[in-house]
Structure 1
Amino acid sequence: METPFAAPSLSGLGQERRLTARTRAKREASTISAELDQFDIAIVGAGHAGAQAAIALRGQGYEGRIGLIGDEPDLPYERPPLSKEYLAGEKPFERMLLRKESFWEERDIRLLPSTRIERVDARTHELFDAEGESIRYGKLIWAGGGEPRRMPCGSDAGLSGVHAIRTHADVQLLRKELAAADRIVVVGGGYIGLEAAAVLTRLGKHVTVVEAATRLLSRVCGAPISDFYERLHRAAGVEFRLNTMTDCLEGEDHHVRGVRLSCGESLPADLVIIGIGIVPSIEPLTAAGIDTANGVRVDAQCRTSDPDIFAIGDCALHVNAWADSAEIRLESVQNANDMAKVAAQVITGTPAHYDALPWFWSNQYDVKLQTAGLSMGYDDHVLRGSPDEGSFSMAYLKAGRIVALDAVNRPADFVQAQKLIRARASPSLAALADIEMPLKTLIPTS
């Protein structure tokens, strides 16, 4: 196990200094001390990845000072329910907390909420927040995630009634405005957009989804899955504008009133939800000279180009064994948790490397989609069952080998497909298509 970092002394840290409102709240009922602003391991980002990294470090027996720094005021919480049960009002926020407040206190993990890190000095091992205050670190785990992608035209700036679904605060505000809204336009036909559309339709709202691609979920699944979900949503009353770009948002009295499409059509809107992906939050690392592109480049140990800085989760750009060793980012809870565990093991001296099989899920209406593996670049596919039955799977193959599977209301196929993919199996198409044949029987025995 690594020896805890002994941070250099910082002038004036043992003396009283002017406190901002944010600092006073953070240090309420405690003595100002050097330890509060210097950590053996500082974790930036208190989402799934950051929280799991802190948990895993303690689980590995790490005894040094850990600081978990987040830019939201809340305790670390689950993100997936934001576009589903929490938006629908079916799950209270308290049940979304990853751990109770006492958990962090008992494990001596110092939480620094409402703290946005805007600058990193890799040479001096310092982080600087929005108020210019510094935090020293021995090792840094960057789990900054990403920010919702803005409308390319920039017309969403300054208009109320325009929402993202990324944080607790985002959905709190959206829920407050729903009562006065009837017509809602969702820009983006991916997981977030469709999950929100399902919830809002069930709440009695008139929903239109605008998608630039020719079909829904085009970046993550094949046409049969896309067609199934389009029929599912249309049956519930959702309207679609596919293969359609958004030109700009239209407003009146600083509130959104419509969405003008590139074809010239204008969709009336009381609210607009933007679900067109995220931009990885990596600017401080880029400015610090860390190797970045569409994310922070990391090796198999989740280490960046600086040996004392790790990056995990949505913002980590890595070579993925399940994507033909392509360099990708994965925006999923699975990736966040597994990368966090690898980083914690490496920091505490346990050999580890990231090679986890990706998996995802999405709940829409009473339908659960579960995906194992990555289907990018597939050259063949097989349907198990019929989409008309509402329970089926689609297996993806590349050069005869199964690389991914989408399971719609078929959890057994999802579980067994993970083993089949890990085995790098090449089952016959006929066997894959036989819905009476459990996938586990196709796993090679040698």
Structure 2
Amino acid sequence: MDNIVVIGAGQAGSALCAKLRELGFGGALTLVGEEPVPPYQRPPLSKKYMLGDMALDRMFLRPEAFYADRDIALRLGTRADALDTVARRVTLSDGTTLAYDALALTTGAPAMRLPAAIGGALRGVHTMRTLDDADALARECTPGRHMLVIGGGYIGLEAAAVAAGRGLSVTLVEQAPRILARVAAPETADWFRALHAAHGVRIIEGTGVAQLTETEGRFNGAELTDGRRIDADFAVVGIGIRPATALAEAAGIAINNGIAVDELGRTSAPGIWAAGDCASFPHRGGRLRLESVPNAIEHSEATAAAMLGGTDPYVAKPWFWSDQYDVKLQIAGLNTGYDRVVVRDDAGARSHWYYGGDTLLSVDAMNNPRAYMVAKRMIEAGQSPAPARVTDPALTLKDLLAA
């Protein structure tokens, strides 16, 4: 194998290329990305970068010299428009084609937008996924203005926290009966609702957006499904992300909640792999797609090894985090299928422990890194402390780990 092309210059694509070189691949290696800048971190976009606490050059995952030193050709500001899996060629938006012996799709997952029919394309309606998004929002976020957040997941809550911290008035609207409905238990939702209320954020739950309104093409508010009207200066849409599968699908590659890969990262097309946010992989008898930085790195590195002949299957160890105000939420495991949540208090630092039957599935730890580390270790080892022990104030976290 002399020539590898990687489509998608985000966290996953950068990690995959770096790992290929680390493992000794000496052939031609090209990384193609739609954005005109080298791969960068996404989590700080809605936090330190937008607040002005992190300069652009610190956002880059690796300096450009890293790629040059390792002979990784960057084709930035260029989109992959077509993929010929028989001829093994990729056609780019600038009209050029790239031949490959092996190809990796690390196309990520762009932010979902509201339909244009209800105003999703108006000026002043933003998403938070790219550097351009963060730059546009930073220009909007001046003290005294009113921001409407649509969506009460972690993306929406993080945007609300940044804006409130900058002195803006913030209203958040969530269509589901409560915030964090898809990703966290009511106990965690209640905790974060109270946190945002303490910072002046108004949260409206169980109500959707019927129509965004405008003046001369510029957003000026929203009409809600319950008949209420919200006046605002600009809006942030945080309703989730969707795996970028169009290129693969058009090429006839199997799709199943993302680009379907096997335990080695191989797609249904010979010579093509996929990793990161765009890919779903086998997990405990089903399929799983994870949207997280750790998975983007770990899945890509495992896939790089497989591309060079490795046979170790990828085994996900899910963990996530969210920063809101002065709170760091750390999540270990996946809470899918939980039927019980118990709450632990460690000198005011909270953690919520999810159980399915007697099995510990995941933990949400708020400003409690010790609980997070202990729970993560136990989950990965298949250990499940009895819920009564978790809530026993006489037992330390070290006691739980030793049991």
TM-score (ref. length: structure 2): 0.96
Query: Is 1:249–1:260's contact at 8 Å kept on the other side of the alignment?
Result: yes
Residue in structure 1 matched with residue 248 of structure 2 by the alignment: 285
**Distance in 2 between the 1:435 and 1:359 partners?**
26
**Distance in 1 between the 2:301 and 2:287 partners?**
20
Single out whichever of 346-355 and 241-250 deviates more from structure 2.
346-355
- Which digits, 9 at most, give the CA deviation of each residue in 1:60-84, with x for residues without a partner? 1111111111100111110000111
Percent of paired sites with the same residue: 39
Alignment partner of 2:351 out of 393, 416, 419: 393
SS in 2 for 1:209: strand
**Distance in 1 between the 2:358 and 2:48 partners?**
39
Residue in structure 1 matched with residue 7 of structure 2 by the alignment: 44
Residue in structure 2 matched with residue 402 of structure 1 by the alignment: 360
Residue in structure 2 matched with residue 21 of structure 1 by the alignment: none
Q: Shift in Å at residue 356 of structure 1?
A: 2.2
**Distance in 2 between the 1:233 and 1:442 partners?**
32
Q: Shift in Å at residue 436 of structure 1?
A: 5.0
AA aligned opposite 1:170: D
Alignment partner of 2:142 out of 158, 179, 199: 179
AA aligned opposite 1:359: W
**Distance in 1 between the 2:232 and 2:112 partners?**
20
Alignment partner of 1:424 out of 366, 378, 382: 382
RMSD of aligned residue pairs (Cα, Å): 1.7
Residue in structure 1 matched with residue 50 of structure 2 by the alignment: 87
Residue in structure 2 matched with residue 370 of structure 1 by the alignment: 330
SS in 2 for 1:278: coil
Q: Shift in Å at residue 156 of structure 1?
A: 3.4
- Which digits, 9 at most, give the CA deviation of each residue in 1:66-117, with x for residues without a partner? 1111100111110000111111111112111111111111111111100111
In the TM superposition, 1:336-351 aligns within 5 A as 336-351=296-311
CA distance 1:394–1:70, shift in 2 (3 Å): same
Q: In the alignment, does 2:63 pair up with 1:100?
A: yes
- Which digits, 9 at most, give the CA deviation of each residue in 1:143-199, with x for residues without a partner? 101221111464335411111110001111121233387011000111111111001
**Distance in 1 between the 2:144 and 2:289 partners?**
35
Q: Shift in Å at residue 435 of structure 1?
A: 4.7
TM-score (ref. length: structure 1): 0.87
Alignment partner of 1:146 out of 100, 109, 114: 109
Residue in structure 1 matched with residue 161 of structure 2 by the alignment: 198
Query: Is 1:160–1:254's contact at 8 Å kept on the other side of the alignment?
Result: yes
Which ranges in structure 2 are unaligned for 5 or more consecutive residues?
none
Residue in structure 2 matched with residue 306 of structure 1 by the alignment: 269
Residue in structure 2 matched with residue 15 of structure 1 by the alignment: none
Q: In the alignment, does 2:340 pair up with 1:380?
A: yes
Q: Shift in Å at residue 41 of structure 1?
A: 1.0
Aligned residues: 403
**Distance in 2 between the 1:313 and 1:154 partners?**
32
**Distance in 2 between the 1:193 and 1:231 partners?**
15
Which ranges in structure 1 are unaligned for 5 or more consecutive residues?
6-39
Query: Is 1:413–1:438's contact at 8 Å kept on the other side of the alignment?
Result: no
In the TM superposition, 1:245-284 aligns within 5 A as 245-284=208-247
CA distance 1:66–1:427, shift in 2 (3 Å): same
- Which digits, 9 at most, give the CA deviation of each residue in 1:352-375, with x for residues without a partner? 211121000001001110000000
CA distance 1:435–1:76, shift in 2 (3 Å): farther
CA distance 1:369–1:44, shift in 2 (3 Å): same
Q: Shift in Å at residue 444 of structure 1?
A: 7.4
AA aligned opposite 1:248: Q
Q: In the alignment, does 2:26 pair up with 1:66?
A: no
